[in-house]
Amino acid sequence: MKLATKEEIEEIKRRLLEHYPAAETELHYRNAYELLVAIMLSAQCTDKRVNMITPALFEKYPDIPSLANADLDEVKALIKTCSFFNNKAKNLIKMAQMVMEEYGGEIPMDEKKLVKLPGVGQKTAHVFMIEYTHANLMAVDTHVFRVAHRLGLSDAKTVEGTEKDLVEKFKTDLNRIHQAMVLFGRYICTAKNPKCDTECFLTDLCKSRESFKAK
């Protein structure tokens, strides 16, 4: 598969930002605490499912101090319809405890500090900072990975390599491009039966369209 040219990359960027001028996460949250918890829950789980879980969770544990003192079995029960709920419940409580102990109960707005929190890897930290602080960062989830490869923006085999390629090629507006690529991949450039001929606005720039037409 051919990679996108510099001119094609600029056009992809322009169209993504034009079609998604105010793209943001579809996770429901009211503050930094709720956003970080929602992102942690969203790993290997849909945003729709997370949004069904969090209202009861946040009612029971409305802030970092209450979550830090939460009963593990109660947290598990509240998030049991989420994938990997056992590990996620443990990490949520440990995360809150560390935020209390190390950062005075305030979620740190620093990538290096965020990734030290239990259950928070680089992708989670980047997604959090992209949404909450509009940081010029890229995060690669399953949608971004798929879109990047179909458009010839990367041929890297790993998430880390794909992220590096996207950062190098787009350079600026990374937070907005991330949000746009997530929505584009979720609703148009879907894993199965992508909407190439009906809704896609990047068809002429796609490096994979022929493979879908052949199926």
pLDDT in tens, 110-164: 999 999 999 999 999 999 999 999 999 999 999 999 999 999 999 999 999 999 9
**Model confidence, pTM:** 0.92
Q: What is the pLDDT of residue 215?
A: 39
Q: How far is CA 48 from CA 35, 80, 149, in A?
A: 14, 15, 25
Which residues, at least 6 apart from 122, have a Cβ–Cβ distance to it below 8 Å? Answer: 111, 115
Q: What is the pLDDT of residue 212?
A: 60
Catalytic positions: 123, 141
pLDDT tens digit sequence for 82-125? 999 999 999 999 999 999 999 999 999 999 999 999 999 999 99
Cα torsion angle, 85, 87, 89, 95, sign: negative
* Domain 6-23+138-213 in this protein, CATH class: mainly alpha
Q: Does domain 32-132 have CATH number 1.20.1250.20?
A: no
Average pLDDT, the chain: 95
Domain boundaries of the chain, sorted by first residue: 6-23+138-213, 32-132
Which tokens is 64 given?
């970092």
Judge whether residue 30 has pLDDT over 70. yes
